[in-house]
Chains A and B, each alone.
Chain A
Amino acid sequence: MAAPAQSLNLLKEPSIQQGVLGDRTNRSLHWFAILLSCMTVGLLVAGALVTSNEAGDSVPDWPLSFGRWLIKSNNFIANVRYEYSHRFVAGVVGATTLIFALWAYISERRVWMRRLGLIALAGVIAQAGIGGLRVLLPEYKAAIAVPHALVAQSFFGLIVAMAVFTSSSWSGVGESRPDTGNPGVRRLATIAVAAVLIQLVLGAGFRHGAFGIIPHISGAIVVTALIISTSVITIRRHGGDKFLARPAKLATALVLVQAGLGVAAYFARLAAAGDPQPLEPMISLTVAHLVVGALTLASVLVLCLRSHRALSVQGLKMTDVTAVEFRSPRRAAV
C-alpha cells in the first residue's frame, strides 16, 4: 500500500506539477502514442469505408449490434461488415486510449501531459456517444456525422501531438532561435492547422450532404496555398534544421497528393452517380482522400508544435518549465 501512496505523493510534488520534464523522455509512452496514432488511422479508414459504402445505417441498433456485442457470423455480410468492423475497431481504440490515458497519468511528470491524456479519453468517449446518436437518430445524419468526423480528426491530432511531446527530439531541442521574418513560421503553422481543421469540416459536410462542393473546393485552394507557402518559408529560413524542415517537406508532399486525390475522388463520384451501388474506384479514392487529409493534418500539426518549441519571438528558449505556457505564446514571451 505504501508504494502507490508514494507515487501519488510524487505526482503532487510542486516541481513536477509545474511540468518540469528534466532530461528524461518517456520513450515507452512515446511508442505507445505512436501505436495509438496508427490504430487511429486504422479507425479512420474503417469509418471512411462505412461512409463510402453507404453502410452507416446497416446496423440499426446501438450500442449493441443486432442485440449482441459480438454478432453472429451469418450477420457479418454485405455492408454490415463495414459498420460492425468500424464499431469493433473503435472499441479497441477506446480501450487502448483508456490504457494510454492511465499510463500517461501515472508515468508523466508534466501535469499538462497528464491532462491531455484525460482529454483524449474524454474525446474517445464523446466520439462513441456521437457515433451512437448518428445510428439512433438517422434523420439527423448530416448534423451528427459532421461533428463525428471533426472529433475523429481532432482526436487523431491530439494523439499525434502527445507522441510529439513524448519524443526525444522534443526534449532534446537546444537553444531556440528567433522566429524572424514576417509572418513568422510559428504563426503561419498555427493558421495552417486551423485551416486544415476547417477544411476537414467542409469535406465532411460535403460527404454527408450538409454542404455543396463549392466550400470544400474553395477551402482546398486556400489550404494548399497556405501549407505550401508555410513549408517554403520554413525551409527557406530553417532548411538546415531537420526538426522543422522534415515536417514542412512532408506536409507539402501530402497536401499535393491530397489535392490530386480530391480531384480524382470528385470525378469518380460524378462517374458513379448512376451506379446501382457504391463501386470501385470511387470507394478507394474517397477513403484515401480522407486518410491523406488526416495525415496532412498530422504533419502540419507536428510542424506547428515543433516551430513553437524550437523558435521563439525574442530568441528565448522555450524551456521545459515554459513549455507549460506554449499554449499562450503571448504569456510565454512576457
Chain B
Amino acid sequence: MLRRISTICVIILATILIVVSCGRKKPAEKDGKDSAGSAKQQYASKGDEGTITGKISFDGAPPASKKIDMSQDANCANSAGEKTTDDVMVAEGKLGNVFVYLKGGPVDKYSFPTPSDPVVLDQQGCRYHPRVLGIQTNQTLKVTNSDSTTHNIHPSPKVNQEWNQMQAQGAPAIEKQFGRAETLIPVKCNQHPWMKANVGVLGHPCFAVSAKDGTYTIKNVPPGTYTLVFWHEVLGEQTQQVTIAAKESKTQDITYKAGATPGAPSMQIGPTLLLP
C-alpha cells in the first residue's frame, strides 16, 4: 500500500515538473523578427510619414466610480489622491486611457529601432501612474515606487516571461524589458489588489494613449493601409481601417457607447481548459 501511494505521489510530482519544464515560456527574443522567426528589414525613414489624430468620445452615462478600500494599509489610506476607481475615465463625454495602435501594413513588415529612453511606471498613492501605457519591444520599462510602503509588481503576460518582484519604499527602480509584442499585459500589485495597470508592447512606435480629453496623436506613420485598433480595459476593442498617404494627416474619431462592455470582467461559464 505504502509503495503504491509513494509511486502515485512520485508520478504526480514528476508530471508537475514535466509540465512546468516543458511548458516554460521561451525567453524574450530580440526585436526585429517576423512570426516565422526570420529577421525583418530595418525601416528606413523617407521623411514622408503621416500623422493620425483623433478624439475618443463616450456616449451615455459613464459608470459610477466605486470607492476603493485602502484601509488594509495605513500608508495607502493616508496618501493623497482619489480613492475611487478610474478604470473608465470619462470627462465631458471624452474617454481617456484608450490604447490606440496600428496593426498590419508597413509597421508589421519592418523592424524599428528601440528607443533608448525608458518608459516610467510609477506607484504613487498606491495607484499606478499611468494606468495605461505603451512600450516598444526591448525598450526599458522603469518601475518606480514613490509610496511610503512596499509594493510588488506582477505583470501577467501570455507570450512574454512573467515576473513578480517586490519593491520597498525608497528602493531603486526596477528595470525590465518585454521581448515580444503583446497587447496588452495586465500588471497588478498583489499586496494592494486594487492597483492595476496595462502595458501595450509593440514592435513599432505607432501607438498612443488617449488623454483625459479623449485626444490622441500617432506620429511618424509610414504610408500604407492599416487597421487602427482602439483598446479599452473595460469597454473592449474597436477597429477602423485607415490608409495614410505620404505626409498625410488624418483624423480618426471614434465613440464608445455606454452599456457596451465587452471587455468587462465576467464569470467564465464554459468549461475552457487553460492548463498548459
Which residues on the B side are within 8 Å of A269 (C-beta)?
Answer: 267
**A143 CB-CB contact with B under 8 Å:** yes
Does A57 contact B20, Cβ atoms closer than 8 Å?
A: no
| Docked pose: A159 CA to B87 CA in angstroms | 46
Stretch at the interface among A75-83, A162-170, A178-186, A223-231: A75-83
Interface centre among A61, A74, A276 (most CB of B within 10 A): A276
- In chain B, positions 170-198 with a C-beta closer than 8 Å to chain A are 190-194
Does A275 contact B66, Cβ atoms closer than 8 Å?
A: yes
Partner of B272 from A53, A56, A212 at Cβ < 8 Å: A212
Does B264 contact A130, Cβ atoms closer than 8 Å?
A: no
Does B269 contact A213, Cβ atoms closer than 8 Å?
A: yes
| A-contact bits for B1-39, CB 8 A (1 contact / 0 none) | 110011001001100100110010100000000000000
Partner of B68 from A142, A144, A210, A276 at Cβ < 8 Å: A276
Closest chain B residue to A81, Cβ basis: B72
| Docked pose: A225 CA to B63 CA in angstroms | 42
- In chain A, positions 140-164 with a C-beta closer than 8 Å to chain B are 140, 142-144, 147
With A58-B190, A211-B272, A277-B68 in contact, do A130 and B265 touch (Cβ < 8 Å)? no
Stretch at the interface among B92-100, B135-143, B146-154: B146-154
Does A60 contact B1, Cβ atoms closer than 8 Å?
A: no
Does B1 contact A115, Cβ atoms closer than 8 Å?
A: yes
Does B267 contact A214, Cβ atoms closer than 8 Å?
A: no
Closest chain B residue to A123, Cβ basis: B9
| Docked pose: A16 CA to B190 CA in angstroms | 53
Partner of B194 from A122, A130, A144, A277 at Cβ < 8 Å: A277
| A-contact bits for B75-102, CB 8 A (1 contact / 0 none) | 1100000000101000000000000000
Q: What's the least CB distance linking A73 to chain B, in Å? A: 12
Does A133 contact B265, Cβ atoms closer than 8 Å?
A: no
**A187 CB-CB contact with B under 8 Å:** no
- In chain A, positions 44-91 with a C-beta closer than 8 Å to chain B are 53-61, 66, 74-75, 77-81
| Docked pose: A115 CA to B5 CA in angstroms | 11
| Docked pose: A275 CA to B84 CA in angstroms | 11
Which residues on the B side are within 8 Å of A122 (C-beta)?
Answer: 6, 9
With A133-B16, A138-B154, A276-B194 in contact, do A212 and B266 touch (Cβ < 8 Å)? no
Interface centre among B16, B266, B270 (most CB of A within 10 A): B16
Interface size of A by CB at 8 A reads 53
Closest chain A residue to B84, Cβ basis: A276
Does B190 contact A56, Cβ atoms closer than 8 Å?
A: yes
Partner of B190 from A79, A112, A212 at Cβ < 8 Å: A79
Partner of B191 from A58, A215, A279 at Cβ < 8 Å: A58
**B268 CB-CB contact with A under 8 Å:** yes
| Docked pose: A213 CA to B272 CA in angstroms | 9
Q: What's the least CB distance linking A183 to chain B, in Å? A: 25
Which residues on the B side are within 8 Å of A133 (C-beta)?
Answer: 16, 20
| Docked pose: A79 CA to B76 CA in angstroms | 13
Does A140 contact B190, Cβ atoms closer than 8 Å?
A: no
**A209 CB-CB contact with B under 8 Å:** yes
Partner of A75 from B87, B150, B267 at Cβ < 8 Å: B150
Which residues on the B side are within 8 Å of A78 (C-beta)?
Answer: 72-73, 76, 191-192
Closest chain A residue to B23, Cβ basis: A140
With A54-B193, A112-B1, A122-B9 in contact, do A60 and B152 touch (Cβ < 8 Å)? yes
Which residues on the B side are within 8 Å of A139 (C-beta)?
Answer: 25, 156, 161-162
**B276 CB-CB contact with A under 8 Å:** yes
**B47 CB-CB contact with A under 8 Å:** no
Which residues on the B side are within 8 Å of A142 (C-beta)?
Answer: 274-275
| Docked pose: A138 CA to B2 CA in angstroms | 32
Closest chain A residue to B15, Cβ basis: A147
**A118 CB-CB contact with B under 8 Å:** yes
Interface centre among A119, A143, A279 (most CB of B within 10 A): A143
**B166 CB-CB contact with A under 8 Å:** yes
Which residues on the B side are within 8 Å of A99 (C-beta)?
Answer: none
Does A212 contact B271, Cβ atoms closer than 8 Å?
A: yes
Footprint of B on A, CB under 8 Å?
Answer: 53-61, 66, 74-75, 77-81, 112, 115, 118-119, 122-123, 126, 129-130, 133, 137-140, 142-144, 147, 209-215, 266, 269-270, 273-279, 327
- Some 5 contacts from A to B, beta carbons below 8 A apart, are A57-B154, A66-B166, A78-B73, A123-B9, A140-B276
